[in-house]
Amino acid sequence: MAHLLVIDDEGDIRHLYAAELEEEGHTVVTCGNRNDAMAQFHHQAFDLVILDIQLDQESGLELLQEIAREREKTPVVICSAYSCYKDDFSSWLADAYVVKSSNLNELKSEVRRILAQS
C-alpha cells in the first residue's frame, strides 16, 4: 500500500492514526513537530502526509507551505479539530480537510480517495 507521514503534536492521536492506517495496510511514520517532520520528509519519500494545523507553538499551515515548496506533488490531508481554517487560503494547498473525530472513517476515506488518484 502507501507510505504515510502523520504530523500531530498529540501522541495519542499519532498512535491512533498509525494503528488505524496500518490496519488498512499502509506504512506509517509519525512526528510531533515541524523539525522532526521535515527531517523525515527530507530523508524519505511519502505517498501522502496527514497534518494537524495546531502543532504546539508551531503553525501547521506554515509547515503545509514548506511541504508544498519541497515536494509539490506530495498530497496532504489536513486533519484538524478546527473547521474554521477551511476558509484560510493557506489551507487550500491541501488535497483534503478533515475535522478530527473519534471516528476515523472520513479520514480513511479521504486517504483512499487521494491515493487512488495518484
Q: Taking a C-beta distance cutoff of 8 angstroms, is the pair 50, 107 a contact?
A: yes
Q: Taking a C-beta distance cutoff of 8 angstroms, is the pair 8, 32 a contact?
A: yes
pTM value surpassing 0.75: yes
Q: What averages of pLDDT result for each successive group of 10 residues across the chain (118 residues)?
A: 95 96 97 94 94 84 87 88 66 83 93 93
Range of the domain at 35: 3-117
CATH number of the domain where residue 23 is located:
3.40.50.2300
- How many structural domains does the chain have? 1
Give the phi and the psi of residue 21 in degrees, each rounded to 5.
-75, -30
Give the separation between CA 50 and CA 101, rounded to whole angstroms: 14
Q: Taking a C-beta distance cutoff of 8 angstroms, is the pair 49, 67 a contact?
A: yes
pLDDT of residue 18: 97
